[in-house]
């Protein structure tokens, strides 16, 4: 029970205006008291006169301690009035403090306490008319004024509550937009990494090899051809990404031109067929071999049983595996890439020896993107080294549906800094 009371008390708003509002309440209290003294409405030589002077204005002073204190003070004051038979002079003097206190209380209290207080105020005002019928028109004025004060306070309460609700909605929208922007930035970073990292790494590795075969025109020509193919692939992939980012108001001719260029499986940045996936994997193996490795590709199981959306994820993962091998692998050693398909899952694995030389500069987002791509399909990525051999294994089950990228959490481990 105490916890429930504490909750609504914590929701009570302070007196509007801060210190200035409280200063105005004090000034109003002093002005009303001085006015009664100057008008000789009370007899200050009698203790009862001091009670009649101060009692109607006590709620104004109580408001300095808070709205709840003011509301309680007003109720106590009015109960005292009822016990005294509702003196007309005191009721008239308390009119201004009553309207201010009732209006502020119904505004600042939470909705339910404000409703309870309003009902109690109306009941007390009704009792005042029953106890002292001689009030007459004063009772009508009192009732109308009380209803207006309550209505104004409750209306301000509702408007303030609605503004808080709108502010919370705006805050939630801003947070949602921030999450979406972060998610889009992350996706764009992964897309750029997938598109650029592999081909640029190939170009860098081929350029390094060219230094050692400068006296061999045949190998030099092969290296230059590989650099040209990688550059063409990178440009095509970047062009595809730019087209995706452009608005839908682009000319249809540009879109048609892009679609025509993407029909070439050699230059296409998207894999949707099983034949295309195998073709891309062989291209990665060939690229690794041109980088100075002895690479082997092993495929077991029906590639056609892999869903089309998963083929694209596998294609990009294979490119990332090839990029990591070129960056961190030891040349002139064996490299193996395996694609194993059974009835329940598909496994993509690569093994290579780790080079002791300093690798090409890396953004360290390769494994992060790989894990995020894998988790979309409910799979996992396991990496590690043993006796100088690095192994990366990605396993994805067939019975899991892709999940939203905003709901996934890309996991990290201590090996992410290596690649």
Comparing 9-13, 114-118, 270-274, 412-416, the range with the smallest average pLDDT is: 412-416
**Per-residue pLDDT for 46 more than 80?**
no
Q: Is residue 252 assigned to a domain?
A: yes
Same domain, 110 and 208: no
Instruction: Judge whether 334 lies within some domain.
Output: yes
The DSSP code sequence of 179-240 is HHHHHHHHHHHHHHIIIIIHHHHHHHHHHHHHTT-TT-HHHHHHHHHHHHHHHHHHHHHHHH
Task: Flag whether 193 is in a domain.
Answer: yes
Is 128 in the same domain as 181? no
At 334-366, the pLDDT tens digits run 999 999 999 889 999 999 999 887 665 555 666
pLDDT at 259 (0 to 100): 40
CA-to-CA distance for 46 and 202, rounded, in angstroms?
104
Q: What CATH number should be reported for the domain holding residue 266? A: 3.30.565.10
* 389-397 and 334-341 beta bridge pairing: unpaired
Question: Is residue 235 in some structural domain?
Answer: yes
Mean residue pLDDT across the chain: 78
Of 49-63, 142-156, 201-215, 252-266, give the lowest mean pLDDT range: 252-266
Check whether residue 212 and residue 269 sit in a common domain.
yes
Give me 37's structure tokens.
Answer: 């003294």
**Under 8 Å CB-to-CB from 157, ≥6 apart: which residues?**
106, 107, 108, 109, 111, 114
Domain co-membership, 209 together with 277: yes
Residue with tokens 């972060």: 182
Query: Within this chain, do residues 9 and 64 fall inside the same structural domain, yes or no?
Result: yes
- Based on the domain organization, do 213 and 118 belong to the same domain? no
- Residues 113 and 206 grouped into a single domain: no
Half-sphere exposure (Cβ direction) of 128: Cα atoms closer than 13 Å: 29
In this prediction, residues 75-81 reach a mean pLDDT of: 86
Token output for 210? 């060219």
| CB-count burial class (<10 Å; 0-12, 13-18, 19+) for 247 | exposed
Residues 179, 50: one domain? no
Q: Which of 74, 105, 135 is the last residue of a domain?
A: 135
| Contacts with 26 (C-beta within 8 Å, 6 or more apart), sequence order | 60, 61, 64
Domain range enclosing 51: 2-135
288 to 34, 73, 297, 322, 408: CA distances (angstroms):
97, 86, 11, 6, 32
Tell me, yes or no, whether 155 lies in a domain. Answer: no
Mean pLDDT score, 273-301: 88
Whether 268 is in a domain gets the answer: yes
Count structural domains, the chain. 2
Residues 179 and 128 in one domain: no
Residue 417 resides in a domain: no
DSSP 272: -
Specify whether 222 is located in the same domain as 274: yes
pLDDT score for 135: 66
Q: How many residues does the chain have?
A: 419
Domain edge (last residue) among 81, 114, 135: 135
- 215 with 271, same domain: the answer is yes
Task: Looking at the structure, tell me whether residues 51 and 107 fall in a common domain.
Answer: yes
Last residue of some domain: 118, 135, 152? Answer: 135
Q: Is the pLDDT of residue 258 over 60?
A: no
Contact yes or no for 328/418 (Cβ under 8 A): yes
For residue 306, is it within any domain?
A: yes
Residue 318 near residue 357 (C-beta atoms within 8 A): no
């Amino acid at each position: 029970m105490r916890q429930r009371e504490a909750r609504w008390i914590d929701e009570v708003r302070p007196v509007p205006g801060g210190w200035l509002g409280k200063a105005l309440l004090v000034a109003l209290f002093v002005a009303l008291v001085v006015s009664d003294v100057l008008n000789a409405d009370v007899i200050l030589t009698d203790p009862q006169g001091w009670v009649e002077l101060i009692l109607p204005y006590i709620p104004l002073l109580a408001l300095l301690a808070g709205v709840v204190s003011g509301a309680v003070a007003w109720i106590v004051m009015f109960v005292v009035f009822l016990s005294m038979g509702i003196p007309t002079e005191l009721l008239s003097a308390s009119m201004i403090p009553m309207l201010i206190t009732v209006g502020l209380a119904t505004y600042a209290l939470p909705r339910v306490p404000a409703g309870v207080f309003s009902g109690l105020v109306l009941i007390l005002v009704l009792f005042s008319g029953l106890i002292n019928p001689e009030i007459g028109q004063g009772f009508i004025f009192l009732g109308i004024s009380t209803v207006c004060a309550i209505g104004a306070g409750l209306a301000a309460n509702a408007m303030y509550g609605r503004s808080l609700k709108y502010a919370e909605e705006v805050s939630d929208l801003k947070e949602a937009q921030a999450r979406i922007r972060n998610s889009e930035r992350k996706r764009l970073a992964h897309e750029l990494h997938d598109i650029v990292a592999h081909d640029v790494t190939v170009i860098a590795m081929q350029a390094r090899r060219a230094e050692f075969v400068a006296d061999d025109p045949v190998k030099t020509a092969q290296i230059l051809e590989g650099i040209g193919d990688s550059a063409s692939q990178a440009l095509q992939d970047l062009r595809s990404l730019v087209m995706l980012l452009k608005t839908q108001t682009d000319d249809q001719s540009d879109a048609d031109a892009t679609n025509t260029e993407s029909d070439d499986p050699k230059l296409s940045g998207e894999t949707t067929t099983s034949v295309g996936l195998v073709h891309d994997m062989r291209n990665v193996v060939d690229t690794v071999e041109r980088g100075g490795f002895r690479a082997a590709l092993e495929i077991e199981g029906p590639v056609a049983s892999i869903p089309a959306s998963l083929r694209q994820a596998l294609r990009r993962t294979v490119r990332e595996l090839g990029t990591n091998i070129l960056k961190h692998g030891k040349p002139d050693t064996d490299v193996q890439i395996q694609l194993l398909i059974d009835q329940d899952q598909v496994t993509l694995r690569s093994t290579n020896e780790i080079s002791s030389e300093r690798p090409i500069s890396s953004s360290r987002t390769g494994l992060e993107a790989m894990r995020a791509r894998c988790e979309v399909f409910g799979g996992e990525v396991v990496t590690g080294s043993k006796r100088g051999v690095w192994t990366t294994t990605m396993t994805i089950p067939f019975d899991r549906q892709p999940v939203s990228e905003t709901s996934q959490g890309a996991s990290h481990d201590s090996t992410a800094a290596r690649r």
